[in-house]
Amino acid sequence: MSRPNAPGLIDARRRGTSPGDRKRAREALRPARLRTSDLIRLGGYGLRLRPLRAVLSALGIAIGIAAMIAVVGISASSHADLDRELAKLGTNMLTVSPGKTMFGEQATLPDESVAMIKRIGPVQSATATGVVGTAHAYRNDRIPAAQTGGLSVVAAKLDLLDTVGAELSRGVWLNEATDRYPTVVLGATAAERLGTGPTVYIGGRSWVVVGVLQKVALASELDTSVITGWPAATTYLAFDGHPTTVYTRSVESQVEAVRAVLGATADPSAPSEVDVSRPSEVLSLRRATNATFTSMLLGLGSVALLVGGIGVANTMVISVLERRSEIGLRRSLGATKGQIRTQFVAESLLLSLIGGAAGALMGYLVTGSYALTQGWPTVVPPWVLAGGVGATVAIGAIAGLYPAIRASRLAPTEALAAA
Amino acid sequence: MSSVEAVVTSADADDGHAVAELVGVSKSYAGGVAALRSVDMVVEYGELLAIVGPSGSGKSTMLNLIGTLDRPSSGTVCIDGFDVATLSDRQLSALRSRRIGFVFQQFHLAAGRDALGNVADGLLYTGAGRRDREQRAEAALTRVGLGKRLTHRPYQLSGGERQRVAIARAVAGDPPLLLADEPTGNLDSVAGGGVMELLHELHQSGTTILVITHDREIADSLPRQVQMRDGQVV
Ligand SMILES: Nc1ncnc2c1ncn2[C@@H]1O[C@H](COP(=O)(O)OP(=O)(O)O)[C@@H](O)[C@H]1O
Ligand SMILES: [Mg+2]
């Protein structure tokens, strides 16, 4: 109630022409600011007037945000799992295999290629397997020869397991003694197909199964292999002794340098016939192949967000139309145009933030349960959550602005008459 | 509160200006309706008066101008010493928030808020804090005889009680001027009589009150009547 009340001022103020009077009026008649807490409460009252409508229009936003967060979260969780796996497997393995000759025939690697590769400085280990193309493995001697089961017989050097990172699920690995006799170790898939008998039948005789491998992530070709010792294959299966795959591990920082020289080292006479690959990259690529699927889902998520935003705008427009008399009342109570505008923007922001928060929770739960079924860690990057919140704030502000401006432009008398 | 206000009010009166002063005020609406035609009127501090006239005679138009909800097409409107024409929309809002209380025929209560909330929200634009608003709201509701109905929602109140809530909302901030547009228009005669009694009480404690009515009987029960016909004071 502060008002200048020196008697001499009154007449001048009534005429209202001098700039000093206007200044005094400005000071005496400054609208009070709405507190933020009051603004939030106002938005809440507005939404509670029509709770079902609020929930439905927040749902659109929620679905959009949930889709976005789940898509990004699932992809991030998959990557986190891959990273975890690669950290365990190592990314420093390179494999060398003979490609096709220029006449289209299967090439082989020179017998001395393993020794040559071991001489490359940063190479820490190198070992080889050789496919025994002429031999096939069967459960027993009563299986017809044509039923090879898609398995291959492979001769291996004794240091294979360390280099490829393979583990036994049961039994033992070959050793200096057993690798010259008819003994085998089965790959995981090969063991499933050949059963759990004590022997398998290869090249007209029984071979004793001494061990079974777990799945080998970086050398999945071993899963379908029946592995014999190098000397035994030569002795009993007429193996030519040429390596068909060389596995190497190098110093991590030098892997690319090693890769550059590996072909020429393995087969100096025909380096272009040699395929060099990095299995960890193949793993990453396999996971990355669903990138188009991901962007499709992201597109759907943004459409849902857009529709959600339109839903919020629609709700606000209707709300303003229905609440003209409330707007008129507030103007009569002293609300400025700006305060009416702010109230409706706050309401719209609150509506979309509620949707966004629900959506973030839904997205997180979807990511979590999907990751759980896949055995992945649950990872939702903070930037996605921040982006989700940012998106809902932007949607709320944009959706609410036009209705709020309309509300603030209503003439008080007209708004009051609308009751 | 009210005694302090009474002091302020009398100080205002000493300044020599009226609470409302209309000089040559006309208002015409789009479509050429002349709702007010060159009206002169002065309302002094502490008055209780009726503006009475048949429907369509321009009473509500006059109230809207005095309440600064609208501006005249021509002429001067001064409220509490301020020339409305010199004030911006923001300044008029501030003027209403502290110096004018409104009571409407349709009550205009928020259905989702209880009596205390409705009255407290009426102080939202005065800058008072929430606690303060609620305390003043409770005092105002007690003053209008609804101290025991604080948590009742509008649908749980009778028409007369609703209008009392609306009156409590209008006077909670102790405005020097209270404007009531057909405050008994939606009430039966008993409830209407109660509301008029309440307005008399508020007037006795120092509030200037301007009541619009088309009811001669109500008008005659007030100390002063301003008669209107066809947009003119007669
Ligand atoms: N917003 C408006 N637009 C056009 N004409 C209006 C408007 N408001 C009031 N009028 C007209 O102005 C005249 C006076 O109206 P009003 O002040 O509401 O009278 P009262 O309150 O005495 O019944 C009436 O003829 C009415 O139709
Ligand atoms: Mg009227």
- Shortest alpha-carbon distance between residue B145 and chain A (Å): 22
Same domain assignment for residues A227 and A336? no
**A62 — pLDDT class (breaks 50, 70, 90):** very high
User: Which residue in chain A has the smallest CA separation from B175?
Assistant: A1
- Shortest alpha-carbon distance between residue B94 and chain A (Å): 5
> Is B10's pLDDT higher than 50?
no
Do the domain assignments include residue A2?
no
Structurally, chain A folds into a number of domains equal to 2
Report the pLDDT value the prediction gives residue A402, as an integer from 0 to 100: 94
- Answer whether A333 sits within 8 Å of B124, measured CB to CB: yes
Same domain assignment for residues A207 and A137? yes
> Is A9's pLDDT higher than 60?
no
Chain B CB contacts of A416 under 8 Å are: 69, 104, 108
- The alpha carbon of A225 and the centre of ligand 2 are apart by a number of angstroms equal to 97
Do the domain assignments include residue A188?
yes
> Is B11's pLDDT higher than 50?
no
How confident is the model over B150-208, as pLDDT tens digits? 999 999 999 999 999 999 999 999 999 999 999 999 999 999 999 999 999 999 989 99
- Answer whether B130 sits within 8 Å of A38, measured CB to CB: yes
Among candidate residues A262, A280, A298, the one where a domain is terminated: A280
* Contact present, A340 and A407 (Cβ < 8 Å): yes
- Closest residue to B113, CB basis, from A5, A7, A45: A45
- Closest residue to A413, CB basis, from B69, B80, B98: B69
- Answer whether A419 sits within 8 Å of B69, measured CB to CB: no
Please give the backbone phi and psi of residue A36, each rounded to the nearest 5 degrees, phi first: -60, -40
**A21 — pLDDT class (breaks 50, 70, 90):** low
Among candidate residues A263, A280, A297, the one where a domain is terminated: A280
Same domain assignment for residues A274 and A299? no
Ramachandran region, residue B31 (left: φ > 0; alpha: ψ -120 to 50; beta: rest): left
- Shortest alpha-carbon distance between residue A45 and chain B (Å): 8
How confident is the model over A374-386, as pLDDT tens digits? 999 999 999 888 8
Closest CA to A315 of A347, A293, A290: A347
**A290 — pLDDT class (breaks 50, 70, 90):** low
Do the domain assignments include residue A393?
yes
- The alpha carbon of B104 and the centre of ligand 2 are apart by a number of angstroms equal to 10
> Is B1's pLDDT higher than 50?
no
Write the single-letter amino acid at A49. Answer: L
Domain span holding position A221: 93-280
Same domain assignment for residues A372 and A269? no
> Is A7's pLDDT higher than 70?
no
- Burial pattern A233-270, b for ≥16 Cβ within 10 A else e, equals bbebbebeebbbbbbbbbeeebbeebbebbbebbbeeb
Same domain assignment for residues A171 and A247? yes
Give the three-class secondary structure for A129: strand
**A102 — pLDDT class (breaks 50, 70, 90):** low
> Is B62's pLDDT higher than 90?
yes
* Residue B60 near ligand 1, beta carbon < 6 Å: yes
From the CB of residue B42, how many other CB atoms can be counted at a distance below 10 Å?
Answer: 13
User: Which residue in chain A has the smallest CA separation from B16?
Assistant: A7
Report the pLDDT value the prediction gives residue B2, as an integer from 0 to 100: 40
Chain A CB contacts of B80 under 8 Å are: 3
Report the pLDDT value the prediction gives residue A11, as an integer from 0 to 100: 44
**Selected residues 103-122 of chain B with any CB under 8 Å from a CB in chain A:** 104, 106, 108, 110-113, 121-122
Same domain assignment for residues A411 and A353? yes
* Contact present, A274 and A262 (Cβ < 8 Å): yes
* Residue B33 near ligand 1, beta carbon < 6 Å: yes
Among candidate residues A260, A280, A300, the one where a domain is terminated: A280
Alpha carbon separation from B37 to A417, B56, B70, B73 (Å, rounded): 22, 13, 15, 10
Whether ipTM exceeds 0.95: no
Chain A CB contacts of B94 under 8 Å are: 29-32, 334, 336
Does B7 touch chain A if contact means CB atoms closer than 8 Å? no
* A295: exposed, middle or buried (Cβ count in 10 Å: 0-12, 13-18, 19+): exposed
Same domain assignment for residues A64 and A134? no
Which of A144-158, A211-225, A291-305 reaches the highest mean pLDDT? A211-225
Alpha carbon separation from B40 to A231, A302, B16 (Å, rounded): 123, 62, 17
* Residue B86 near ligand 1, beta carbon < 6 Å: no
Task: State chain A's mean pLDDT as an integer.
Answer: 84
Chain A CB contacts of B8 under 8 Å are: 1
Percent of chain A predicted with pLDDT > 70: 90
**A106 — pLDDT class (breaks 50, 70, 90):** low
> Is A270's pLDDT higher than 90?
no
- Answer whether B17 sits within 8 Å of A37, measured CB to CB: no
* Residue B69 near ligand 1, beta carbon < 6 Å: no
Domain boundaries, chain B: 45-67+87-233
Report the pLDDT value the prediction gives residue A284, as an integer from 0 to 100: 73
Alpha carbon separation from A308 to A269, A317, A344, B146, B197 (Å, rounded): 65, 14, 17, 44, 53
Q: Topology of B45-67+87-233 in CATH?
A: Rossmann fold (3.40.50)
- Region B98-116: what's the mean pLDDT? 94
How confident is the model over A303-337, as pLDDT tens digits? 888 888 999 999 999 999 999 999 999 999 999 99
- Shortest alpha-carbon distance between residue B195 and chain A (Å): 20
Report the pLDDT value the prediction gives residue A12, as an integer from 0 to 100: 39
Tell me the ligand closest to B56's alpha carbon: 1
- The alpha carbon of B35 and the centre of ligand 1 are apart by a number of angstroms equal to 6
DSSP state of A120: S
- Answer whether B130 sits within 8 Å of A45, measured CB to CB: no
Report the pLDDT value the prediction gives residue A26, as an integer from 0 to 100: 66
Cβ contacts of A16 within 8 Å, gap of 6 or more: A22, A25, B82, B83, B85, B86
Task: State chain B's mean pLDDT as an integer.
Answer: 91
- pTM of the predicted model as reported, rounded to 2 decimal places: 0.77
Alpha carbon separation from B194 to B153, B173, B183, B191 (Å, rounded): 20, 22, 11, 5
**B13 — pLDDT class (breaks 50, 70, 90):** very low
Which of A22-31, A267-276, A287-296, B127-136 reaches the highest mean pLDDT? B127-136
Report the pLDDT value the prediction gives residue A3, as an integer from 0 to 100: 40
- Answer whether B67 sits within 8 Å of A332, measured CB to CB: yes
Write the single-letter amino acid at A2. Answer: S
Same domain assignment for residues A273 and A293? no
Among B28, B29, B51, which is best to mutate for testing ligand 1, by the most ligand atoms less than 8 A from CB?
B29
Q: Residue A386's Cα: distance from chain center in Å?
A: 17
Show the beta-strand stretches assigned E in A296-406: none
* Residue B29 near ligand 1, beta carbon < 6 Å: yes
User: Which residue in chain A has the smallest CA separation from B113?
Assistant: A45
Euclidean distance between CA atoms A404 and B155, whole angstroms: 29
> Is B20's pLDDT higher than 90?
yes
Alpha-helix runs per DSSP H in chain B = 2-14, 59-66, 89-99, 115-121, 130-143, 159-171, 189-204, 216-220
> Is A5's pLDDT higher than 80?
no
- Shortest alpha-carbon distance between residue B215 and chain A (Å): 21
More confident position, B20 or A157? B20
Percent of chain A predicted with pLDDT > 90: 30
Report the pLDDT value the prediction gives residue B213, as an integer from 0 to 100: 94
Q: Which two tokens stand for residue A130?
A: 């050789």
> Is B12's pLDDT higher than 80?
no
Q: Residue A355's Cα: distance from chain center in Å?
A: 24
- Region A123-144: what's the mean pLDDT? 82
Which atom of ligand 1 is nearest the CA belonging to B228? Answer: 22
Same domain assignment for residues A205 and A310? no
User: Which residue in chain B has the smallest CA separation from A19?
Assistant: B86
Same domain assignment for residues A327 and A386? yes
Q: Which two tokens stand for residue B193?
A: 């009589």
Q: Which two tokens stand for residue A334?
A: 């002293």
> Is B7's pLDDT higher than 80?
no
Alpha-helix runs per DSSP H in A90-179 = 113-118, 160-164
Report the pLDDT value the prediction gives residue A287, as an integer from 0 to 100: 67
- Answer whether A329 sits within 8 Å of B108, measured CB to CB: yes
β-pair type (B177-181, B208-213) = parallel
Report the pLDDT value the prediction gives residue A20, as an integer from 0 to 100: 63
Report the pLDDT value the prediction gives residue A16, as an integer from 0 to 100: 45
Same domain assignment for residues A200 and A101? yes
Report the pLDDT value the prediction gives residue A88, as an integer from 0 to 100: 78
Same domain assignment for residues A182 and A238? yes
- Answer whether A34 sits within 8 Å of B124, measured CB to CB: yes
- Answer whether B90 sits within 8 Å of A338, measured CB to CB: yes
Cβ contacts of A188 within 8 Å, gap of 6 or more: A169, A212, A213, A214, A215, A216, A223
Q: In what order do the strands lie in the sheet with B20-29?
A: B33-43, B20-29, B74-79, B82-83
